Amino acid sequence: MFKINDNYLKLPGSYLFSTIAKKVNEYQTANPEKDIIRLGIGDVTQPLAPSIIDALHGAVDEMAHAETFHGYAPDLGYEFLRNAIAKNDYTDRGADIEADEIFVSDGAKCDSGNIQEIFAQDNKIAVCDPVYPVYVDTNVMAGRTGTYDPKAETWSDVIYMPCTAENNFAPDFPDEVPDIIYLCFPNNPTGSTITKDQLQGWVDYANKNGAVIIYDAAYEAYISEDNVAHTIYECEGARTCAIELKSFSKNAGFTGVRLGYTVIPKDLKCGDVQLHSLWARRHGTKYNGAPYIVQKAGEAVYSEAGKAQLKEQVGYYMNNAKVIFEGLKDAGYTVSGGVNAPYIWLKTPDHMTSWEFFDHLLENANVVGTPGSGFGPSGEGYFRLTAFGSYENTVAAMERIKNM
């Protein structure tokens, strides 16, 4: 008789954004005349930049001819893309990363969920609280998190690092030393970030304690302040303790195209085993690579025209972030984030819980956001709005919130 992986049964509820989508669909079905503005999931709305569209068309045409047709991609991804990434995202920033330390994939969500597979089950993970739910849920599926306390909404074997207004939404070093530390800066969901010096502190901490940092830099393109690192490898010693995850979704609008990459420096070792070779083995065995067409589109992200067009696109979303930040402030809300990130984090008014405010906003303003408590217990009493809507919808949403 077969048995299931009953770790899945330990997961409370469904994936956060699936729960929200279900609730919004039910509301829309019951109220078909309502014009709902969706500022919940961080999904982009602007079309792909012209350089990316040109690259996609060109690559599609190549696939139509035997001489230029491409089948399976190389295990780590095409060299043209890995070279462009290594140069633009690392060498040009003074970070020492080689093209053969980059693994191209179909997105940072999959990589952030899958990376835990190369670690032993008895590693203890530490996460920021609130946190992008994928890090925790995938460790639950792997049986690494112990038992769930439904009242506290925490797992017994997870170290939570609260990120609240008191510590400026930046985690403190935990009392218990973790084996694996998940960090995401600029942060999802709080939209806050830490300085390069603070990040250096985490790198030093990890090296001192033999821990590994899984660093999610999906929102790097939104950094506007000079003292914030664009990659963890700007920090000294990061090559021996850090894995970095990057996405093309937020900087280039690839949420529906799918492309990302993971960096594992060859100096990152457990004893004499390189984590790079474990991930290479996994990649080779379980994955056949992002499509050639999509990797060509990824290469266009680094062309001069692509860079200029994407700078404009990121600027468009950051202008929305400003509209939300200032709109909410004018309406009397306590707000943070939105300066180095496309997320605005607000305190719910009148002591409403995060889910109460979700319903309140949906019913009274027909605006969808994300309840802070969905990201972890320290998110209770907070709410996230995304700047990834259209400008018109963002302005309209603020008007509605002000008039609520």
**Which of 115, 77, 98, 100 shows the shortest CA–CA distance to 284?**
77
Kindly report the number of other CB atoms within 10 A of residue 2's CB atom. 3
Q: Residue 109, interface with ligand MLT (CB under 6 A)?
A: yes
Q: Residue 192, interface with ligand MLT (CB under 6 A)?
A: no
**Which of 48, 82, 49, 51 shows the shortest CA–CA distance to 303?**
51
- How many chain residues interact with ligand MLT (CB under 6 A)? 6
Q: Residue 188, interface with ligand MLT (CB under 6 A)?
A: yes
Q: Would you tell me the crossing angle of helices 304-330 and 391-402 to the nearest 10 degrees? A: 10
Kindly report the number of other CB atoms within 10 A of residue 338's CB atom. 27
Beta bridge partners of 161: 128
**Which of 316, 318, 321, 317 shows the shortest CA–CA distance to 384?**
321
Strands 269-270 and 158-162: unpaired
Whether the ω angle into residue 50 lies within 30 degrees of 0, i.e. cis, is no
Closer to ligand MLT by CB, 231 or 249: give it.
249
Closer to ligand MLT by CB, 43 or 380: give it.
43
| Rounded least distance, CB 354 to ligand MLT, Å | 14
| Rounded least distance, CB 98 to ligand MLT, Å | 27
CB 39 within 8 A of CB 389: yes
| Rounded least distance, CB 188 to ligand MLT, Å | 5
Closer to ligand MLT by CB, 130 or 265: give it.
130
| Rounded least distance, CB 162 to ligand MLT, Å | 19
| Rounded least distance, CB 204 to ligand MLT, Å | 29
* CA–CA gap between residue 373 and residue 384 (Å, rounded): 10
Q: Which of residues 289-318 bind ligand MLT (CB under 6 A)?
A: none
Beta bridge partners of 214: 182, 243
Q: Residue 373, interface with ligand MLT (CB under 6 A)?
A: no
Whether the ω angle into residue 130 lies within 30 degrees of 0, i.e. cis, is yes
| Rounded least distance, CB 171 to ligand MLT, Å | 18
H-helix or E-strand spanning residue 396? helix 391-402
* CA–CA gap between residue 264 and residue 276 (Å, rounded): 5
Closer to ligand MLT by CB, 90 or 132: give it.
132
Please identify the residue of the shown chain whose CB is closest to the bound ligand MLT. 42
Q: Residue 243, interface with ligand MLT (CB under 6 A)?
A: no
| Rounded least distance, CB 245 to ligand MLT, Å | 11
Q: Which of residues 329-358 bind ligand MLT (CB under 6 A)?
A: none
Q: Which of residues 24-43 bind ligand MLT (CB under 6 A)?
A: 41-43
Q: Which of residues 130-159 bind ligand MLT (CB under 6 A)?
A: 132
Residues that bind ligand MLT (CB under 6 A): 41-43, 109, 132, 188
